[in-house]
Amino acid sequence: MNVFKKLFAVAGVALAGLAFAPAAVAQEAPDALIKRISQEVLDTAKNDKEIQAGNQKRVLDLVEAKILPHVDFQRMTALAAGRFWREATPEQQKQLVNEFRTLLVYTYSGAISQVKDQKLEFKPMRGEPTDTEVEVRSQVLQPRGGDPIQLNYRLEKLPSGWKIYDVNVLGAWLVETYKGNFAAEISKGGIDGLIKTLSDKNKRLAASAAKTAKSS
């Protein structure tokens, strides 16, 4: 009897250990994640001579490597499209996500290219540890003084890690700001019209990015 009790006890502890083991390799906390990737991107942008010289391709590569894996573009696009998302076919949805992602990558890279000497400051995160949707708040301090630039992120928790699905710059949320643009384009030419507008814009941005790469 005692032997069995001991056996069960040992088995119980072993099982408990197994249960806790995955938790031990827990996901990075959302604010730690944002801090890490922001700092990496900022440091690389400041120290890379080609980026400082204006080579936009380098910035694009940097953004794709460091930032893209941590963003949920599908949800971001769906939120910006609002009620029109459900009316889109899966093929249109896929195209929309691709074009919007490309646009955001160009825009974000444009912002990174302007980094000279900024510093990041993070505010304490609010919320419970068990939250699956959080907001990480930070500020960009300019070397020239003046108002700090507010920069917040909304993240969701997925099995593969925390993912960003909305960004706030200077008080304006990206999704909210693009909603109006999307709705206007859709009312003009339908979802295909929106996809075309985005795609044309991306082609223009690609052309001007190519110019900076060639000239550097």
Report 172-201 residues binding other proteins (CB under 8 A): 172-173, 175-185, 187-190, 197-199, 201
| 67 interacts with other proteins by CB under 8 A | no
Which member of 45, 51, 78, 136 binds other proteins (CB under 8 A)? Answer: 78
Question: What residues from 126 to 145 belong to the interface with other proteins (CB under 8 A)?
Answer: 132, 135, 137, 144-145
Closest separation between CB of residue 35 and other proteins, Å?
A: 19
Among residues 74, 46, 45, which one has the least CA distance to residue 61?
45
Other Cβ atoms less than 10 A from the Cβ of 39: the count is 12
Cβ(138)–Cβ(152) below 8 Å = yes
- Asked if residue 53 binds other proteins (CB under 8 A), the reply is no
Q: How far apart are CA 214 and CA 3, in angstroms?
A: 76
Q: Does residue 205 touch other proteins according to CB under 8 A?
A: yes
Among 32, 85, 120, 125, binds other proteins (CB under 8 A): 85
Residue whose tokens read 């910035």: 59
- Residue from 41, 45, 75, 140 binding other proteins (CB under 8 A): 75
Contact predicate 88/179, CB 8 Å: no
Helices 90-113/56-66 angle, 10° precision: 120
Across the chain, which distance is largest between two alpha carbons, in Å? 82
The amino acid occupying position 9 is A
Phi-psi region of 88 (alpha: psi -120 to 50; beta: other; left: phi over 0): beta
Q: Which of 6, 36, 46, 94 binds other proteins (CB under 8 A)?
A: 94
Report the nearest approach of other proteins to the CB of residue 7 (Å).
36
| Nearest distance in Å: CB 26, other proteins | 16
| Nearer of residues 2 and 160 to other proteins, judged by Cβ | 160
Tell me phi and psi for residue 119, to 5 degrees: -125, 150
* Choice from 8, 89, 107, 119 touching other proteins (CB under 8 A): 107
86 binds other proteins (CB under 8 A): yes
Show the CA angle centred on residue 170, arms to residues 61 and 145, nearest 5°: 90
Q: Which of 65, 89, 119, 127 binds other proteins (CB under 8 A)?
A: 65
The verdict on 5 binding other proteins (CB under 8 A) reads: no
